[in-house]
Amino acid sequence: QSVLTQPPSVSGAPGQRVTISCTGSSSNIGAGYDVHWYQQLPGTGPKLLIYGNNNRPSGVPDRFSGSKSGTSASLAITGLQAEDEADFYCQSHDSSLSTWVFGGGTKLTVL
Amino acid sequence: EVQLVESGGGLVKPGGSLRLSCAASGFTFSSYSMNWVRQAPGKGLEWVSSISSSNSYMYYADSVKGRFTISRDNAKNSLYLQMNSLSAEDTAVYYCAREDQYCTEGICYAFFDYWGQGTLVTVSS
């Protein structure tokens, strides 16, 4: 059971918008710790997608955006493309565990 | 271009040991904290261990504390993970990841900005 909760899967047609939620608690996201998002394409290592809740590293398209409110965070992907099909993970810090924590991952399927 | 290349994975019997390596290039290795993150087959990501840029601080997940030792050689641009007393629960792909920081309002938050391709560790008799 992951400390951060994500839906196991989401799907959308090309061109559509999808969101992936990441729900935490008062010891991590709710305590004010920032949330970061990673994309993992099949058979590869994770890639940083969003850091500090809503910042994109250089090279990440602006179709990807993040937000945070209360004890949750969300990743939004607009203009879905076939190459977006991947697993997505959120990450934050937990003060009770004194460690970095990840969500269980969400598999995005582009229909 | 930042590159992280893990090696050293393989099949090991329960109770055995293994040493993983991560060769870094394309950046000033000695300026960054480094981490190991693992992913069990079909599962999510789990942070394992981190080490500060100057070798001063090491941190471990409770699940590996006392059994795993992280180290680095800044002269060789290399990160290591010595794994002892391995069990089936340690079976996973092990990734090395560079740690960067994002600071806002006087508080800094760490995230992992570059990852390797991973090396598979299988613990089985």
Instruction: Give CA–CA dist A64/B64, Å, rounded.
Output: 34
pLDDT of B63 reads: 95
| pLDDT by residue, tens only, chain B of 125 residues | 999 999 999 999 999 999 999 999 999 999 999 999 999 998 999 999 999 999 889 999 999 999 999 999 999 999 999 999 999 999 999 999 999 988 888 888 889 999 999 999 999 99
Q: Closest approach of chain B CAs to the CA of A107, in angstroms?
A: 11
To 10 degrees, the CA torsion angle through A86, A99, B71, B123?
-60
CB contact under 8 A, A46 and B95: yes
CB distance B99 to B4 below 8 Å:
no
Q: Least CB-CB distance to B117: which of A2, A45, A51?
A: A45
Between CA A74 and CA A90 the distance in angstroms is: 9
Determine the pLDDT at residue A98. Answer: 87
With an 8 Å Cβ cutoff, the interface of chain A facing chain B consists of 2, 33-34, 36, 38, 44-48, 51-52, 55, 57, 89, 91, 93, 99-105
pLDDT of B73 = 96
**Residue count of chain A:** 111
| pLDDT for B29 | 97
Rounded mean pLDDT for each run of 10 residues along chain A, 111 residues in total: 93 97 96 95 94 94 96 97 96 92 96 92
DSSP codes, B3-14: EEEEE--EEE-T
Q: What is the DSSP letter of A109?
A: E
- What is the SS3 string spanning A39-104? EECCCCCCEEEEECCCECCCCCCCCEEEEEECCEEEEEECCCCHHHCEEEEEEEEECCCCEEEEEC
Report the candidate in A99, A92, A108 with the shortest Cα–Cα distance to residue A23. Answer: A92
Contact list, A93 vs chain B (CB under 8 Å): 109-110
Using CB atoms within 10 A of its CB, is residue A13 exposed (0-12), middle (13-18) or buried (19+)?
exposed
Query: What are the chain B neighbours of A48 within 8 Å (beta carbons)?
Result: 111-115
Please judge whether A52 and B110 are an interchain contact, meaning their C-beta atoms are less than 8 angstroms apart: no
